[in-house]
Amino acid sequence: MSDGESVKTVSVVRCEDYNREKTCAAVRKAIDLVGGVGAFVSPGQKVFLKFNLLQGSAPETCITTNPEVVYAVAKLLKDHGCEVLLGDSPGSGSIYKESNLRKAYAVSGYDKIARELGVRLNYDVGYREVSAPESSTIKRFPIISPALDCDAIVVVSKAKTHSLTYLSGAAKNIFGVIPGLDKPTYHARLPDSVAFGRMIIDINDIVKPKLQVMDAVMGMEGDGPHAGTPRKIGAVLASGNYSAIDVVTSRLMALDPMRVPTITAAIERGYLKGDLSDISLTGDNLEELIVKDYQCPSTYLGQGKSGGKSHRLMRLVFKLVNEYPPRPVIHTDRCTRCMKCVRSCPVKTIAVVDTLPRIGYKKCIKCYCCHEMCDSHAITLERTLAGKILAKVVFRK
């Protein structure tokens, strides 16, 4: 990440669609504007290109990094003389095994581009425990083998909203180096979004990604990272700094960067200045690309709703009643009984009753893992009556 850099440069390049020629040109320009691929990796290096594979999903759903953006980055790396390995560990509802990886890669279009480029996809489902004595949260993490065995990691993220962290961008993408079903345990141990954001920065500190590329041609708005709606933004971004690129991405999506816990965690650690003045923009005009009516997640408080006495009072209210944040609600008429929600629940508060999943709300920590992993969109996020009153009276939402 080059935390010591006084200026963190982020390039923004307009890209209207996923036409291969246009996408390759936009990605090349974006990376050239921040120093070129040679500023981050060297010929002969083994590079793990990590995309966002929440789960196997068709590209048009905007759940995963679009394969054309992955193609463009992988081609640049290969042409530079790098040995490229593509991959990710899918989300918390999937068992991390080769057969599941193959299915997810195929559905998402990554196997096709790997064949076209002549690069490998990762099928190694091994991982190793890594000691992290300097971590601010957890002191040991299981990290998937390709992230440890490479010379450099290049991250290609997807611009999406997220019900817990508000933004699913570059920093959050690295959570994918935690193997499959291990992910829910971290939600259980760190249910608070602020602590969870600090943990995400801890993982980035361990694996130290070299280059960040953001697929913001089409993003996801609403209750992402899985149940939201595709929304055009029309840009590709690049940077050597995951927090800086997340700040710029959040602005494109009309999110207040200071409400994103991974960004505030980076500021706490001294990786960004508190006023964000150490971020430099290059390329196309950011203001012309901002989607001002981008739909935020239903959990989002909004710009200007943080800080001050009212915010501290509300934090106290949250602790006392825990009613403001929406809770997951299962709609049994849409449920396919796949039981991904049961497997993904970190506190095991979803039980199977009469062949259908049921949420025990007394133990629910509102991490939204079940909502995130529901293929049929049978789980929605809804406020209780008390939560609706708080939203109306305090936040006027």
Q: Would you kindly state where each structural domain of the chain is located, as residue ranges?
A: 8-283, 308-393
CATH among 3.90.650.10, 3.30.70.20, 3.40.190.10, 3.40.50.300 for 308-393: 3.30.70.20
pLDDT digits (tens, 9 = 90+) for 41-93: 999 999 999 999 998 999 999 999 999 999 999 999 999 999 999 999 997 56
Q: Residues 323, 164, 73, CA angle at the centre, nearest 5°? A: 170
Residue 305 has a pLDDT of 46
* CA-based nearest residue to 194, from 296, 266, 93, 140: 266
Q: How far apart are CA 344 and CA 304, in angstroms?
A: 33
CATH for the stretch 8-283: 3.40.50.11440
Largest Cα–Cα distance in the chain? 60
Task: Grade residue 151 by pLDDT with cuts at 50, 70 and 90.
Answer: very high
Q: Please state the pTM of the whole predicted model.
A: 0.85
Q: What is the distance between the alpha carbons of residues 176 and 90, in angstroms, rounded to a whole number?
A: 7
| Residue of 378, 358, 380, 356 lying closest to 368 (CA atoms) | 380
* Structure confidence by residue, pLDDT tens digits, 218-229: 999 999 999 999
Q: What is the sign, positive or negative, of the torsion defined by CA atoms of 353, 354, 355, 357?
A: negative
Contacts of 99 (CB under 8 A, 6+ apart): none
Burial 189-209 (b: 16+ CB within 10 A, else e): ebbebebbbbbbbbbbbbbeb
Query: With bands split at pLDDT 50, 70 and 90, how would you rate the model's confidence at 390?
Result: low
Residue ranges of the alpha helices (H) in 270-374? 308-321, 340-344, 369-373
Q: Alpha helices of 174-327 — where are they, by DSSP H?
A: 183-189, 193-207, 242-252, 261-268, 308-321
Residue 109 has pLDDT above 70, yes or no: yes
Residue 73: partners with Cβ closer than 8 Å, 6 or more residues away? 27, 31, 49, 154, 156, 213
The rounded distance, in Å, linking the Cα atoms of 108 and 381 is 26
Q: Model confidence at 325, in pLDDT bands (50, 70, 90)?
A: confident
pLDDT tops 80 at residue 209: yes
- Evaluate the omega torsion of the peptide bond into residue 225 and state whether it is cis, within 30 degrees of 0: yes
Q: At residue 351, does pLDDT exceed 80?
A: yes
Residue 314 pLDDT: 42
d(CA 178, CA 89): 7
Identify the H or E element spanning 236.
strand 229-239
Residue 100, CB-side half-sphere exposure with 13 Å CA sphere: 17
CB atoms within 10 A of CB 282: 14
Residue 236: CB atoms within 10 A of its CB come to 31
Contact 227, 371 (CB under 8 A): yes
120-121 and 83-87 beta bridge pairing:
parallel
DSSP H stretches of helix in 12-130: 20-33, 67-79, 98-108, 110-117
Q: DSSP letter for 219, please.
A: E
Q: Which structure tokens are listed for 331?
A: 């709609």
- At 308 the pLDDT is 40
